[in-house]
Chains A and B, each alone.
Chain A
């Protein structure tokens, strides 16, 4: 199971983008997931591309608020993979979540937890949570 630990309680290994604040990180960790931050696994000033590469190297799902930049980045990843190598590695998965002025962070953490329990293998996928539509596939 990629990006997941085989434990009785499903726990995902996550890589929190630099734009994810410590409050959400704490809520996610309280659900039993390993919520690693950019600062723990990379440099705090790493670019979006560096963070996605690092998350993939570590087999961690990347969680971000930044829909625009990560959708562009993942589109580029896919285009480059299609062009240069049929055997290229997909990224480890990107989960785009709303900021707290749209959805309370406790709800975001709850929905993340539900997704991670129900859909363990998210490599190469980009999903977004919206309070109206729930989780939808971006790419």
Chain B
């Protein structure tokens, strides 16, 4: 896994209200997997967790992540804003994914 720190994730310079509106425009709860860690970008976009993972791999470059998922920069910023609010559970999901991948037996 690319060793990129949490701090490489760029922050948005928005007010709390603006962040809330941004999240409301782009982020939805997953229809089959309850929990904030499973939220995804609508419509038909990747999970917030997948975007955060990509951002880390891309060294925090929003444009690169947006391009790789074929979503807008604004959608990536919404994922970052959502991540800022629910960082612990999304980090936990990413850790669990890594743990499942590294396990001898799934």
Contacts and interface: CB of A to CB of B under 8 A. Distances in A.
A120 interface: no
Nearest to B45: A44
B46 A44 contact: no
B70 A22 contact: yes
Contacts of B101: 67, 98, 102
Contact of A100 (B32, B33, B57): B57
A53 to B, nearest CB: 13
A34 interface: no
A101 B44 contact: no
Given A44-B43, A101-B53, A102-B101, A23 B68 contact: yes
A45 to B, nearest CB: 5
A67 B57 CA distance: 19
A68 B32 contact: no
A66 B30 CA distance: 16
B100 A67 contact: yes
A47 B32 contact: yes
B100 A21 contact: no
B32 A22 contact: no
Contacts of A102: 1, 101
B15 interface: no
B38 to A, nearest CB: 11
Contact of B47 (A19, A23, A98, A100): A19
Contacts of B96: 68
Interface of B: 1-2, 30-33, 43-44, 46-47, 50, 53-54, 56-57, 68-70, 96-97, 100-101, 106
Sorted nearest first, the 5 A-B pairs with minimum C-beta distance are A44-B44, A68-B100, A71-B106, A101-B57, A47-B32
Given A19-B50, A22-B69, A68-B96, 14 more contacts: A18-B44, A21-B68, A21-B69, A22-B68, A44-B44, A48-B32, A66-B97, A67-B101, A68-B97, A99-B53, A101-B2, A101-B53, A102-B101, A138-B106
